[in-house]
Structure 1
Amino acid sequence: MSDTKDTLHRIKLMIALVPKEPGDISTRELLCALENEGFNVSKRTVQRDLEKSSNTFPIYQSVGGHHPRWSRKKNAPLDTDIMLPATALALHLAESHLSRLLPSTVLQRLTAQFELARHQLLSNTSNTFHNWARTVRALPNGKALLPADISSNVWEAVSDALLRERQLRVVYQAREQSTPREHVLHPAGLVSRHAISYLVARTQSYEQPVQFALHRITDAEVLTAPAMELEGFSIDQFISRQLNSEEDIATVTLEADVSPSIAWLLNETPLSMEQSLTPLEDSHWQRLRAVVPNDKETRWWVYSLGENIRVRAPADWIEEIKTRAQQTLAQYQENAE
């Protein structure tokens, strides 16, 4: 083995020998362990390697003085592969983004990688991405709800049953029911939508798969019986049908007058690939034409624009907007009385 490879192997082995906190190990104990592995180095070399390695790997000197001891952060991964700064930055940004989408139970599975990425960026001032971790943030577009809380036992059982293609017994609290009920499910897929994760599965009562919100599952157990295979099932087709609607989502041509601020937004981030914006005469507003899905999410987005949009088509959207506006006005009139 060349000197370079020998040194690299020794350092990686040394890092692996450092126990996770609250455990620790002395420099002399590390030296003895390395000697047992056939490395002939001095105590000073080990101490120097530890100090340099602490700038790259999540280890730290837990006890100082003449008899220093070293520990590894408990969330640090077991491997000692070096993470490139660009990879560390990508993981650091992904952490802030995923924290608003995934439940804490799932995020805990990635804690070690996030910790290593954060340590790599913040501890090494020589890499060009060092300041990015302090100055770059990922923010949601609009109000983001906190992820629904999912039991760690439920998450493990659901993922295990899905991967091993086993039946799953669950106790599920449906919104429209006063008490939870027990079901035996045949898992088919998993969908994360905004702040909620859904298990897509077939039950004994329904031939077609339906969705179960994971945070409403109070208990779950993987059964030994194999799950029934859903012939012709496609998770993408299930999603395109708006998570359990009876028909595929159709497209419509949205025609509306939009305020300058919305026109500017849509010019930079179009509503669809088929979109046009035309200035209106004697006005700062613009006429929007776009082919969009006729689904709840699109309609909710349009409704949320309030006074910044005047829908011209489709006609049923106009009627729904009128109905919503009348109901809202009635609620405020009742409060005033």
Structure 2
Amino acid sequence: MPWCAYGRFSAARPGKTDMAKRPDTLETVLLALELLRRIPRGRKVTASELHRQLKDAGIDRDLRTIQRQLEMFSDHFEIERDDRSKPYGYCWLEQAKALAVPNLTPQESLLLRLAEEHLKNLLPVRLMKSMEGFFSQARRNLGPDSTAQLEREWPGKVRVVATSQPLLPPQIAPGVFEAVSEALYANRWLDLDYQNAAGKRAKVQVMPLGLVQQGPRLYLVCRYQGYDNERNLALHRIHSAEVSTLTFARPKGFDLKMYDDDGRFGFGEGEKIRLTFRIERGAGLHLLETPLSRDQQVEELGDGKLKISATVVDSAMLDWWLRGFGGAVSEVDKKSMKNEET
């Protein structure tokens, strides 16, 4: 039988008088609740792991304080301490009912499993680490022995598919993603050893403004020190990254959504054009369901073709998209919208 199948439980509780004498009672109670929420069932967790989770969540306590709390828990709650070898491990007993620590419902477990899978590259690393206890519980709740059959089956019923040829993600140097996400999260300058696509390598200091996933690649949107324009740096081209102790105020005029809407990740400069082209009906049928823009206009031609007109951002990606249709697309015309905007 697993080591955490048995344990001791004491009804002893600290008296109100003792609690009142402590000036940091509330702080101690909040720390205790955070620890109790993160102690798992069915597997052990060490004091160092909990210490790291709390630190990642912004709760800074020394390791010895965490160890004392866990020792107290094993005396007063249905929590077992595995002291057969160091570091000691702690877990709730399977039948524990001494404290009502909220457990994840099957629906919450499903949501966390999907979030862990699809948001792991879009959330700060410290946040992901601080949530590890919940992710672990969600995985167990939807494991092969789980009674939540419908929720357990759901991940096998949905899938995000590629709209182009699938590619394997490029390798990112160890520690780079962690440093980039931490600097972005804390608004700190970032020291990089970066090599661009042309092979030129340099050490630069940048202001991180956004993290973007495009297909299998991750890009850092940033400003070089001394410049006020944005650049996209591929994370897989960063040889090393170090978070500076210096903070910065995010530029008030920068908006990541607007930056993307301007076609910056389609290798464009944000210039809007009125695009017109002809396309064979079979190849362009999907544009009737998923338009290029809200003002798209479609004209049915008598020769089995469609005439499409739409306001879009001019970019290299747009050109690649048009060339992908080969001979099915003809009479492409681009008209600048600069005069109309002014």
TM-score range, shorter chain: 0.5 to 0.7
CA distance in 2: counterparts of 1:111 and 1:204, whole angstroms: 35
CA distance in 2: counterparts of 1:13 and 1:197, whole angstroms: 33
Q: 2:198 aligns with which of 167, 176, 197?
A: 176
Match of 2:244 in 1: 223
Give the share of equivalent positions with the same residue, in percent: 28
TM-aligned CA distance change 1:128 to 1:156, over 3 Å: closer
**1:177-192 maps to which residues of 2 (within 5 A)?**
177-178=199-200, 180-192=201-213
Match of 2:253 in 1: 232
Task: Say which SS state the counterpart of residue 314 (structure 1) adopts.
Answer: strand
Match of 1:50 in 2: 94
Task: For residue 135 of structure 1, report the CA deviation from its aligned partner.
Answer: 3.2
Q: 1:262 aligns with which of 273, 278, 284?
A: 284
- Would you say the 8 A contact 2:284–2:306 is kept in 1? no
The gaps in structure 1 that reach 5 residues or longer are: 1-8, 23-32, 40-48, 54-79, 317-337
Task: For residue 223 of structure 1, report the CA deviation from its aligned partner.
Answer: 2.4
Q: 1:299 aligns with which of 319, 330, 337?
A: 319
Task: Give the structure-2-normalised TM-score.
Answer: 0.58
CA distance in 2: counterparts of 1:309 and 1:107, whole angstroms: 47
Q: 1:209 aligns with which of 216, 220, 230?
A: 230
Give per-residue Cα distances to partners, 1:265-306, cap 9 Å, x unaligned: 2233233222344433253x4333333322232332222122
Task: Give the structure-1-normalised TM-score.
Answer: 0.59
- Would you say the 8 A contact 2:273–2:335 is kept in 1? no
Aligned-residue Cα RMSD (Å) equals 4.3
Q: 2:275 aligns with which of 248, 253, 261?
A: 253
The structure that is helix-richer by fraction is 1
TM-aligned CA distance change 1:111 to 1:252, over 3 Å: farther
Amino acid at match of 1:206: Y
Task: For residue 155 of structure 1, report the CA deviation from its aligned partner.
Answer: 1.9
Whether 2:208 is the aligned partner of 1:164: answer no
TM-aligned CA distance change 1:291 to 1:134, over 3 Å: same
- Would you say the 8 A contact 2:219–2:234 is kept in 1? yes
What is the number of residues matched between the two proteins?
259
TM-aligned CA distance change 1:35 to 1:133, over 3 Å: same
- Would you say the 8 A contact 1:166–1:224 is kept in 2? yes
Task: For residue 126 of structure 1, report the CA deviation from its aligned partner.
Answer: 4.6
Whether 2:139 is the aligned partner of 1:138: answer no
Q: 1:287 aligns with which of 303, 307, 323?
A: 307
Task: Say which SS state the counterpart of residue 193 (structure 2) adopts.
Answer: strand
- Would you say the 8 A contact 1:162–1:187 is kept in 2? yes
TM-aligned CA distance change 1:231 to 1:98, over 3 Å: closer
The gaps in structure 2 that reach 5 residues or longer are: 1-32, 47-71, 79-92, 337-342
**1:1-337 maps to which residues of 2 (within 5 A)?**
16=40, 18-20=42-44, 36-37=75-76, 50=94, 81-93=102-114, 116-123=137-144, 124-178=146-200, 180-204=201-225, 206-227=227-248, 230=251, 232-243=253-264, 247-263=269-285, 265-281=286-302, 283=304, 285-314=305-334
Task: For residue 261 of structure 1, report the CA deviation from its aligned partner.
Answer: 4.4
Give per-residue Cα distances to partners, 1:9-62, cap 9 Å, x unaligned: 9xx88963654389xxxxxxxxxx9983266xxxxxxxxx83899xxxxxxxxx
Amino acid at match of 1:187: P
TM-aligned CA distance change 1:310 to 1:82, over 3 Å: farther
Give per-residue Cα distances to partners, 1:176-229, cap 9 Å, x unaligned: 234x21112233333333322222333245342322222211112222333475
CA distance in 1: counterparts of 2:44 and 2:206, whole angstroms: 40
